[in-house]
Structure 1
Amino acid sequence: MAPINTLVIVILVIGVSKTFSSESLQLQLLEKHQTLLINLQNDYDILMQRQVDMKKVIAEVVRANTKLQLINEELEGKLTNIETFLRESTQHEGSSFAEDSGNIAAELVGKYKGNRDDPEECKERLDAVQTILLDDKQNAINELTNILESYEVYFKRVCSSPALKYLKKIPSLSEFIGNREEEIIEYKRNSADKRKEDASSNYDSKLSSFSKLDGDVKTLESRLDALETNSKSTDDLPGPKLKEKQNGIISGNSVTGNSVFSAARTNVLNGENYEQTVTFDQVITNLGGNLNSNSTFVAPVAGYYFFSFTLRTQDDKFLAVQLMQNGDHKTAIYSEKSDRNVMESQSIVLELAMGDRVWLRLGPSLQYGIYSDGFCYCTFNGFILSEINNGSF
């Protein structure tokens, strides 16, 4: 019996040790899985942060590009001003600056030679005039030089901006705009011919435009005659007729012209444990003034009205909005929650009595929500289709 008992004990010990070994192996695998999940979560967080950083970089590049375009436009304007100044400085009506100086000097020399009584006075006057002429010319040159130097400094400062570090730096303004002297001379030589050519070209262009406009007018007149003919041919058709407009409203079986509204919401509306009226802080159109408190439309007359509304969901929230008429539900929008914004729209035609009220209502739940921002994703619109008079439209 003793050997049998010993064998049983050995078998039990082996079974227990295998059980412990299996549980230990399972714990090790579980720890490895948890470690792997933690590493995956960390990698995901790193990727999301890189995505945010990339969006910031893209936004910075867009801002830098916009600033670069504005600077380019400003520089082009300044270069145009410089070229205009250079042209105006070198253009003279009649005689040139040197000719004017020579004429004055020759006149004074003649007076000097003819006046033998007081030669010193004539000589002093001649020297003074020559000094004034030279000073004026030198002042003009100095002024132009100062302007060029100031713009040269401006170009260097702009091109060394950190936002424009990817551009090639311009060493100097004179190198950038080049030597304009020959261009100015050529411009003066050909300006008269160019003006004549431009005048002839403009005349031909305007003549062509007038001919085209004349053809368009004739086409429109033909279409207008056709519309008038069609209008006369429909006068005898059965059905409601339009009457003349009185007090801003087309009376009779017609459309009322001054009851149109369109409003937008530019902020988030979070759901609560009670129903909420959806308000719209930006009124785009309110012809007739029938949209009250930026939320409720009040019918000015009995008639058939068209309404539409578009809403955007919040992330991970439901959307449940009803269109109400005097407290009665008429239509609604419902959307399941999603990890991304969803746009939903609805429209309806209602028969309203004068004074009936129409508005939007968000359901009572903390799980509901509406998203909007400055892009005006959420809108509420309506207008009258036909007025009802004495039970007929």
Structure 2
Amino acid sequence: MEFRALRLLTLLGLLFVEPGFGQRGDMDVGEWLREKAELLNAFGDKLKDVRALEARLNATVDQLTGQKAEVDRLREENEGLKTRLSATEEEIDTLKQSNANGAPRVAFSASLADFGEIYKGPCTDKTLIYKRVFSNTGDGYDQSTGVFTAPVCGLYFFSFSTYGYNTHVTGAILMKNGARQVSTYDGLAADGSDGAGNAVALQLVAGDAVHMELWDGGRVFDNLNGHTTFSGFLVFPA
């Protein structure tokens, strides 16, 4: 409807502005109108092409806008990954520097017998003194008393094993500052011998003492095969 109105207005305008229009014959006017109509039709076709091209351009713009938004999102995500990677690298450097600057190293491992065979218990002094020391980094373990003293505050991991025969109760108790923590235990039984083990992680402050004790009336056995043992190490300082 708008196009028809445009065509009519155009014809009217041409009628008023065409020089010498009133001097043309009927055949000249008809031919002139046909030429103008063809021109207007061509113009309408061109206008359709322009509108189609405009629609395609708008679609392309929308597509490019979407792609730009995706690129911006990926750029932001990449920046976030860079930030996290940088933080991780800084944390690793901090850990390396902490280790290089002398972070405490504490670990020990020992067994009851340093030669021959030994039966410990029953006895009044139930403290187990492990004489055969495999390692004692940090010098926290005292092989003369059987006591480990924490040199620094932190989380420590301890493990121990016991072995004995069925003539007595077999087992031991891990003590922290004189208080029972965890233990192994095997009562009198028909089998010839019994072995057991246990472990625990303890939060210690510098100066806390950890040692092993026999059960009342208990006995353990060891030789150079290392059946009855006591070990511990610092997991991390606190």
| Length-normalised TM-score, structure 1 | 0.35
Q: Does residue 126 of structure 2 align to residue 276 of structure 1?
A: yes
Which is bigger in relative contact order (C-alpha 8 A, separation at least 6)? 2
Higher relative helix content? 1
Counterpart of 1:350 in structure 2 is 202
From 87, 95, 103, give the equivalent of 1:242. 95
Alignment of 1:1-393 (within 5 A): 235=88, 242=95, 244-245=97-98, 249-250=102-103, 256=104, 258-266=105-113, 267-272=117-122, 274-294=124-144, 295-338=146-189, 339-365=191-217, 368-388=218-238
* Rounded Cα–Cα distance in structure 1 between residues aligned with 2:101 and 2:161: 30
Q: Distance in 2 between matches of 1:375 and 1:248?
A: 38
For 2:90 and 2:198, the matched residues in 1 are separated by 35
Give unmatched runs, 5+ long, in structure 1: 1-230, 251-255, 389-393
CA change 1:355–1:247 in 2 (3 A) is farther
Query: Which amino acid letter does the alignment assign opposite residue 163 of structure 2?
Result: R
CA deviations over 1:79-115 (Å, ceiling 9, x no partner): xxxxxxxxxxxxxxxxxxxxxxxxxxxxxxxxxxxxx
The answer to whether the 8 A contact 2:174-2:210 is kept is yes
CA distance in 1, matches of 2:228, 2:101: 30
Identity %: 25
Deviation digits for residues 115-137 of structure 1 (CA, Å, limit 9, x no counterpart)? xxxxxxxxxxxxxxxxxxxxxxx
Contact in 1 for aligned 2:131/2:143 (Cα 8 Å): no
- CA 1:246–1:278 in structure 2 vs 1: closer, same or farther (change >3 Å)? same
Q: Distance in 2 between matches of 1:237 and 1:272?
A: 56
Structure 1 or 2, whichever has the larger Rg, is 2
Match for residue 184 of structure 1? Answer: none
Residue of structure 2 in register with 1:23 after alignment: none
- Normalised to the residue count of structure 2, the TM-score between the two structures is 0.56
Letter in 2 for 1:286: N
Structure 2 vs 1, CA of residues 282 and 248 (structure 1 numbering), >3 Å: closer, same or farther?
A: farther
Looking at structure 2, the residues matched to 336 and 386 of structure 1 have their Cα atoms a distance apart, in angstroms, of: 36
Separation (CA, whole Å) in 2 of partners of 1:296 and 1:283: 13
The root-mean-square deviation of aligned C-alpha atoms, in Å, is: 2.8
For 1:343 and 1:358, locate their aligned partners in 2 and report how far apart those are by CA, in whole Å: 22
Corresponding pairs, count: 149
- Maintained 8 Å contact 1:262/1:382: yes
Task: State the shift of 1:246 in Å.
Answer: 6.5
Measure how far apart 1:373 and its partner are. Answer: 1.2
Distance 1:261 1:385, change over 3 A: same
